[in-house]
Copies of this chain bind each other. A is one copy, B any other.
Amino acid sequence: MTETQNRRRPLNRGRVQAAAVQVADRDGLKGITMRSVADLLGVEAMALYRHVSGKNDLLDSLVEVVVAEINDACDALPAPEDPADWRTNLRRRILTARATLLEHRWAPALISSHGTMGPALMRYFDEFGAILAAGGFTLDTIHHALHAFGPRALGFSPELFEPEAPAVTETDLDEEAALADMAAMAETLPFLARMAEHLSHEASTTLGWCDDQDEFEFGLDVMLDGLEKRLER
């Protein structure tokens, strides 16, 4: 019966990519394995090599797949009311990209580690730059801005400190140890100690310690403010 399905749907690059995306969505980036992707397709690992030249090629192509999705989402946006309002237009585009990425949590890491610039990425940046140009920035400034944004242009910012597996069961936050930590910290890390205390006091206002979306928008707006200052008039 798997055979019947195989006959029905012959393999092709698109199906391989789609399967890889599915695997990544389920098991994360490390879950992507020639064999795991092949399994999902009911096929042997070596079969994939007819359609991708190797794992690297597959991974690179996944970046393009995701960015293509982003482009689609951006295309679906209503046309900007005021083309000269670069700030609103850029912000909207970036947050749209972010929304798409949130459905593929593994994508940021992939994008960061694969410095390839395919057609989809180019198109994204073409329109990105066009928005800035419409806002009155010079080509030079735009060029710098593209570098300055970095991954933020695509809607994510690499977090230096990601918990990965927080998993602190209630019972194991040992009060005593925590206090000892605090005391030690206050000595060697006076500032962080102050901040930790401050944050724990108002922790109730936000969900968890740091709301990713909030942090992202804060950083984005800082960037936009800084850029605005460079708009010569």
Name A's B-contacting residues (CB within 8 A).
109, 111-113, 115, 117, 121-123, 125-127, 129-130, 133, 139-140, 142-145, 147-151, 153-154, 157-164, 188-192, 194-195, 198-199, 202, 210, 215, 218-219, 221-227, 229-230
Q: Which residues of B contact A142 (CB under 8 A)?
A: 195
CB neighbours of A147 from chain B (8 A): 157, 159, 210, 215, 218-219
Closest to A189 in B: B126
A160–B194 touching, CB < 8 Å: no
A-B contacts, 19 listed (Cβ < 8 Å): A112-B112, A115-B161, A121-B161, A125-B192, A126-B190, A130-B191, A139-B194, A139-B198, A147-B215, A148-B157, A149-B219, A150-B160, A150-B219, A151-B158, A153-B160, A222-B227, A223-B223, A225-B225, A225-B229
Contact of A190 (CB < 8 Å), options: B130, B157, B191: B130
Q: Please indicate the chain B residues that have their CB under 8 angstroms from the CB of A129 in the complex.
A: 191-192, 195
Q: Is the CB of B144 within 8 A of A218?
A: yes
**How many Å from the CB of A223 to the closest CB on chain B?**
6
Q: How many copies of this kind of chain does the complex include?
A: 2
Task: State A143–B140 Cα separation when bound (angstroms).
Answer: 32
Add 9 more A-B contacts to A129-B191, A225-B225 (CB < 8 A). Answer: A123-B189, A143-B210, A144-B215, A145-B222, A147-B218, A150-B159, A150-B219, A153-B160, A223-B223
Contacts of A195 in B (CB 8 A): 129, 139, 142-143
Q: Considering the complex, give the chain B residue whose CB is closest to the CB of A215.
A: B147
Nearest residue, chain B, Cβ from A119: B188
Q: Please, how many angstroms separate the alpha-carbon atoms of A122 and B125 in the complex?
A: 35
